[in-house]
């Protein structure tokens, strides 16, 4: 099973006083699926980097 996690877009201009998050993941699904399958030489390296750092607790 595959889960999308950590796809964020911040835009202060669209919110009142705080940053807000707006992302339509369905618009990116073809790219996400391609990246997760490793369809390109660059994707396996990115996948390893993202999985290593996605849950990092750095400020």
Q: Is the pLDDT of residue 2 over 60?
A: yes
In this prediction the pTM is 0.38
In a domain, 23, yes or no: yes
> What are the tokens at 26?
């369905």
Q: Could you tell me if residue 1 is inside a domain?
A: no
Averaged pLDDT for residues 7-12: 58
Question: By three-state DSSP, how is residue 26 classified?
Answer: helix
* Residue 59 falls inside a structural domain: no
The answer to whether residue 25 is domain-embedded is yes
| Closest of 19, 26, 2, 1 to residue 11, by C-alpha | 19
Structural domain boundaries, residue 48: 12-53
pLDDT for 43: 62
| Residue 58 belongs to a domain | no
Structure tokens at 7: 């796809």
Residue 30 lies in a domain: yes
Q: Evaluate whether residue 2 is within a structural domain.
A: no
Residue 47 contacts residue 38 (beta carbons within 8 Å): yes
- Domains identified in the chain, total number: 1
Asked whether residue 3 is assigned to any structural domain, the reply reads: no
**Confidence band, pLDDT 50/70/90 cuts, at residue 26:** confident
């Amino acid at each position: 099973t595959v889960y999308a996690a950590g796809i964020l877009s911040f835009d202060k201009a669209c919110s009142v006083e705080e940053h807000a998050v707006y992302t339509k993941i369905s618009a990116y699904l073809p790219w996400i699926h391609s990246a997760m399958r490793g369809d390109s030489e660059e994707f396996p390296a990115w996948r390893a980097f993202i999985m290593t750092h996605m849950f990092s607790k750095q400020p």
